[in-house]
Structure 1
Amino acid sequence: MIRASMFDWLRHPAQVIVLGFGAAVLLGSLLLALPAATTSGESAGWLTALFTATSAVCVTGLAVVDTESHWSAFGEVVIAGLIQVGGLGIMTLATLFTVLVSGRIGLRAKIFAQAETKTLSMTDVRSVVRKVVLFSLACEAIAAVILAGRFLIGYGESPGRAVYLGIFHAISSFNNAGFALWPDSLIRFVADPWICLTVAIAVIAGGLGFPVVFELLKSWRHPHRWSVLTRITVAVTVVLLVAGTLVFLATEWRNPRTLGALDDPAKFLAAFFTAVMPRTAGFNSLDVSQMYPSSWLATDLLMFIGGGSASTAGGIKVTTFGLLAFVIWAEMRGEPQVNVGHRRLPEPVQRQAISLTLVSVTLVALSTYVLLTLTPHGLDQVLFEVVSAFGTVGLSTGITAATGVTGQLLLVLLMFIGRTGPLTLGSALALKERTRRYQLPEERVIVG
């Protein structure tokens, strides 16, 4: 009876996803706590190992120690492996292994993979998982070749070191992780289009979302055939990238500690790169701590929105943001239904978008308040850190290591919730789903 009840508890896909990511974090923490994982040959300590493993599995990029100087080659390989696992998703990898080993997928495995990859039909799970893995590896391979070639030719790295750097940063960029093997992230490459554009394109590709990518590859010449998901994702992504670039150009143009020290082409490149990274990548080619508070606020908004649904990115997702915009537009026009193009949005989708946003805003607000009470840092820096952790971004104003034990544990929790999703985590904690078999009388309530 006890064993049966345990399996009953794990029937909900969301529960298995949360447990899967939790198991990956635990395993990663144990590996990073080994003396062999550090350059000093001593254990990193449980908090540093836990924080780094969570940041890697949740593809965030926040760090309390310098990645290159603190971690050994073994530790860096572990981090890269955790990033790959977190980016593809525990259930996606599990389903792939099932296909390779047995050649068939059970019903429960299909349900789990469907929940992780956001596929619309369980019959497509096997094909989708294969496409996800192949597309991910192909993008990472292309980025790795370009980066390795640039490190070899442009910066005089040895062939082995160039290949190592190329592979590590290709994995980190496509999976929107933001881990870099230099203390200043990518600031030293701020004017190098080969490095910055390769990383930025990999981040965008990984942050669009696999359903959108597959549809674009299939019918990119026929936008009128695109689904509502693809239309909203592409439109909002383009708007945010353009708007973000213009905002950073306008705000930081004369800042001598960021864009002000660069020539005009490098300014545009750096502004575009800075607009791409809040999609939850976490690399930076400018010193974030030297930006104006107005730029921090703009970055907060971009990080909170994040990337596409079913992608390696975090945040509430551009789809959610776009859906809310259509809901507001329909309400302002007094329309009884929400329409996107020639399609009507079902009410459950609208409620999910509103619920996800409100839960996320509440979580960010409460976490900001708690972290303010725990640290001496100002609101701008604390809010930036909280949104970065929740959005699984990894950008920081430089206070991550100074938040203390309790503060770092709070950031660990935020990263985990941000990766698994507030609603996914909530449903995983709910042991039973309740359905109401009756409706109560309707009563109007004054709003506003």
Structure 2
Amino acid sequence: MNLKYIRLNPYQLLVLVFLFFIILGTLLLKLPFSTTHSVSWVDALFTTTSAMTVTGLAVVDTGTAYTIFGQIVIVLLIQVGGLGIMSFAVLILIMLGKKIGFKERLIVQQALNATSIGGVIKLVKNLFIYSFTIEIFAMLLLSIKWVPEYGWAKGMYYSFFHSISAFNNAGFSIWSDNLMKYVGDPLVNLVISFLFILGGIGFTVLIDIWHKRNFKNLSLHSKLMIIGTLVINLFAMIIVFFLEYGNPNTLGSLTSLGDKLWSAYFQAVTTRTAGFNTLDIGSLHEGTITLMLLLMFVGAGSASTGGGIKLTTFIVIALSVLTFLRGKSHITIANRSIKDNIIYRSLAVLTISIVFIFISVFILNITESEPFLKLFFEVISAFGTVGLSMGITADLSILGKLIIVLTMLFGKLGPLTLALSIAKQEKEKIKYPSEDILTG
């Protein structure tokens, strides 16, 4: 992979490589032996994009519409999309003994959303070691449940498919009802949820924990991700439990308290970009849906398999507001100051995301006949690469599906990556006098 003579910035090259794999995946899923019945080009493109962006939204049933070959293509796209195209490219170069240049390292930095170019190759190596180890271990655990139920061949295959889908926060399932049949199963709930929580917390955090093994010695980013994830997941679980407790179509239909707690826990944490569901999303109360919209918008962590504006971005913006209200000029947390460029970056991510979501919802409200809330939910789910749906994905028009495809791409690649791939970078040469303007 010689990028020496390619006059593209890292953001543009990353977008182009991603689009190449989506085209390749679409062609593979259109092969006659990939499907059990005819699948349109738009649906093949939608499925490929959903897999590459590890979203999980589906316009056709994965288990019945695609053959084993088609499903393998989907799971490989999930793995490549989750761990990163450039990460796999670097792995191949390492295996071939090739030298990895500065530009390749810079692209990997952008792909993994790393803070600096230093150590990105080591990060890639650790990324694969930890990811494959976790996925294999989880596959063996799931096989304890599914081998006795489906036999060796199907049981191991189902375990393999769902392990990769869960760790990469994809949310694709072999079954048409996703994981609803295992709503009260402790093993499935724990293994699947821990997979997407580990995948969503970020590779840098996992590596930091492994090497330091002491909370006090962890980086500020790791501490924020761990504490933030625990607090948000616990808060969400409690809210979902009480809001849905009396709903006859969700928790109210479950007989035991254990099943209610498992389902409330799973549905609360899966909104952090995972996409699996053990409850019927369309039957949830609007209050629960509203909470899920916020959780999906915030998403997972940086350098993770998840999407959204990222938890740390949300924390930085929240701290900025609190700092302003307290009359202070600098954001501090855990005896550390947050740099101004991080604040600007967070505000840019938030602003671009809101504008894009507004435009997507606006267009869908013109082209589709579905209620506003369902369309809004679909867009936020696509942006956060979550994959949850209120049941309208397959009924979208061709234009509607293409809008969701663009939204999934936007959510996966990130607002700044796409914006910087278009915008022209300019260096400040002149600093002008400052002047106040009225705001608020």
TM, length-normalised to structure 1: 0.95
Taking the TM superposition and a 5 Å limit, the aligned residue runs for 1:269-308 are: 269-308=262-301
Taking the TM superposition and a 5 Å limit, the aligned residue runs for 1:96-111 are: 96-111=91-106
Aligned to 1:434: 426
| Mapped contact 1:99–1:126 kept (Cα < 8 A) | no
Q: CA deviation at 1:402?
A: 1.1
Q: Percent of aligned positions with the same letter in both sequences? A: 37
Residue type of the alignment partner of 2:430: Y
Aligned to 1:446: 438
**Distance in 2, Cα, partners of 1:419 & 1:201:** 21
Query: 1:299-318, CA deviations, whole angstroms, 9 ceiling, x for partnerless residues?
Result: 11000000010100000000
Q: 1:141 aligns with which of 136, 154, 159?
A: 136
Q: 1:127 aligns with which of 122, 128, 152?
A: 122
SS at match of 1:417: helix
| Mapped contact 1:92–1:129 kept (Cα < 8 A) | yes
| Mapped contact 2:4–2:103 kept (Cα < 8 A) | no
Q: CA deviation at 1:118?
A: 3.2
Aligned to 1:83: 78
Q: More displaced, 108-117 or 128-137?
A: 108-117
Aligned to 2:246: 254
Q: CA deviation at 1:5?
A: 11
Q: CA deviation at 1:103?
A: 4.7
SS at match of 1:69: helix
| Mapped contact 1:392–1:418 kept (Cα < 8 A) | yes
**Distance in 2, Cα, partners of 1:245 & 1:57:** 29
Q: 2:23 aligns with which of 17, 26, 37?
A: 26
Residue type of the alignment partner of 1:398: G
**Can you give the 5+ residue segments of structure 1 that lack an aligned partner in the other structure?**
none
**Distance in 1, Cα, partners of 2:61 & 2:399:** 20
**Distance in 1, Cα, partners of 2:118 & 2:279:** 46
Residue type of the alignment partner of 2:252: G
| Mapped contact 1:67–1:76 kept (Cα < 8 A) | yes
Aligned to 1:7: 6
Query: 1:251-301, CA deviations, whole angstroms, 9 ceiling, x for partnerless residues?
Result: 100111100111111111111100111111100000001111111111110
SS at match of 2:353: helix
| Mapped contact 1:119–1:128 kept (Cα < 8 A) | no
Query: 1:103-125, CA deviations, whole angstroms, 9 ceiling, x for partnerless residues?
Result: 53122211111222233443412
Question: Once superposed, which parts of structure 1, at least 4 consecutive aligned residues long, lie more than 6 Å away?
Answer: none
Q: 2:418 aligns with which of 406, 412, 425?
A: 425
SS at match of 1:278: coil
Q: 1:112 aligns with which of 107, 113, 129?
A: 107
Q: 2:334 aligns with which of 323, 327, 341?
A: 341
Aligned to 2:305: 312
Taking the TM superposition and a 5 Å limit, the aligned residue runs for 1:155-170 are: 155=149, 157-170=150-163
Aligned to 2:257: 264
TM, length-normalised to structure 2: 0.97
**Distance in 2, Cα, partners of 1:104 & 1:427:** 27
Residue type of the alignment partner of 2:334: G
| Mapped contact 2:244–2:252 kept (Cα < 8 A) | yes
RMSD between superposed Cα atoms in Å:
1.4
**Distance in 2, Cα, partners of 1:411 & 1:118:** 23
Figure out how many residues of one structure are paired with residues of the other and give that number. Answer: 437
The reply on whether 1:244 has 2:236 as its aligned counterpart is yes
Q: 1:232 aligns with which of 224, 230, 239?
A: 224
Query: 1:90-113, CA deviations, whole angstroms, 9 ceiling, x for partnerless residues?
Result: 111111111111253122211111
Residue type of the alignment partner of 1:144: M
